[in-house]
Structure 1
Amino acid sequence: MADAQLFEETFNVTSINSEKYDRVSRISGTSTDSTVSMTLDINHELFDVKVGDNINMVLATTLNLDGSKNDEKGWREAGKGGEATLADMFDYVCYGKNYRFVDGEGDTVKFYASFGGLLLFLEGPYKKLTSLKIEYVYMLLKK
C-alpha cells in the first residue's frame, strides 16, 4: 500500500482575518522552518485558532491508516463500522480538490486547493510540495 500522507507541516499562525464572513476566517502562517507559507480559510466555529497558535497540517490521499483506497465507500463513510482512520487523530478534516499547481520562481511552487469553497494556498520549495500534484486531497488539522 502507498503512503497516504503527502505533506505534513506545523505552521505558526501569523494573522487572522474574520471580517468578511460570519463563520469563516482566513488564517495565514509560516512553517516552523520558515520555508512554506500558508493561507487557509477555516470555519472558526469548528476550529478556533488564535495568532501565535501552532497547527499541524496533514494532506493525504485517503483516511485509511494502511494507505489503501476504498472506492466503494464515500469519504463520509470512512471509519464507519468501528475501524480507526487518520481523521480520528485530528480536530478538523476537509476533503477537496487541487485546482492549481504552479511552478514559481526558481525552486518555489504554489499549490491551490478548494474544500467546498474554503481555500488553501501553500507556497514553498518544490521538494516539499511536489507530492501535491494530485487531483483530490484530504486536509487534516490539529493544534
Structure 2
Amino acid sequence: MSADSQLFDDTFNITGVDSQKYDRVSRLSGISTSNDITMTVDINTELYPCSVGDTVQLVLASTLSLDGSKDDGKGWRITSEGETSLADIFDYVCHGKIYRFEEGEGESIKVYISFGGLLLFMQGPYKKLTPLRMDYVYLLMKK
C-alpha cells in the first residue's frame, strides 16, 4: 500500500465492548499497543464480532487502491477482474467523513469520524493524528 494513502495505522487492544444500546452494533473501546492513542469505534457485530482482549489493526486511508491512486468514483465493492484492493486484505471496511477536530491537553488532539452513523473517536498525539485533516477516509480493520 502506498504510504501517501495510508493516513493512520496502529494496533489496538480492545478494553471494552458495549452492546447494550443496539442489537447489531457494539461500541468498542481500545488503547494502542504503544499506549499513546485511545479510541472508541462503533461496529456492526454481525459482520465483525469483537471481544475484550482482542487485538485489532486499525487503518485509516484516503483510497483503497493498493498503488495509492485516487478513487475513480466506482465504489469500493466494484473492482475489475483480478484487481485487488485494500478491502480484500481487511475484514471490516467503512467509508466515512471526518467531521470534527478538537484540541486536547498538551500535544493531544481529538478526531471524530462518522461512518454513516457509526462513529469513531480517537485521542492522541498531534503528530500521529494530524494527517487525518481531510474530508473523507476509509476505515479498515482486521484481527
TM more than 0.5: yes
- Alpha-carbon displacement from aligned partner over 1:7-42 (angstroms, at most 9, x marks no partner): 000000000000000000001000001000000000
Contact in 2 for aligned 1:62/1:68 (Cα 8 Å): yes
Q: Which residue of 2 aligns with 1:111?
A: 111
Describe the shift of the 1:16–1:85 C-alpha distance in structure 2 as closer, same or farther (beyond 3 A): same
Report if the CA contact (8 A) 1:109-1:126 is conserved. yes
Q: Unpaired segments of 5 or more residues in structure 2?
A: none
SS in 2 for 1:129: helix
Q: Please identify runs of 4+ aligned residues in structure 1 that moved more than 4 A.
A: none
Identity %: 62
Query: 2:15 touches 2:52 (CA, 8 Å); kept in 1?
Result: yes
Aligned: 1:64 with 2:65:
yes
Aligned residue for 2:92? 92
Residue-by-residue CA offset, 1:44-100 (whole Å, 9 max, x unaligned): 1100111000000000000000000133423332x3432110111100000000010
The aligned amino acid for 1:119 is L
Q: CA RMSD in A?
A: 1.3
Unpaired runs of at least 5, structure 1: none
- Give, in whole Å, the separation in 2 of the partners of 1:130 and 1:86: 22
Q: Distance in 2 between matches of 1:62 and 1:53?
A: 26
Letter in 2 for 1:43: N
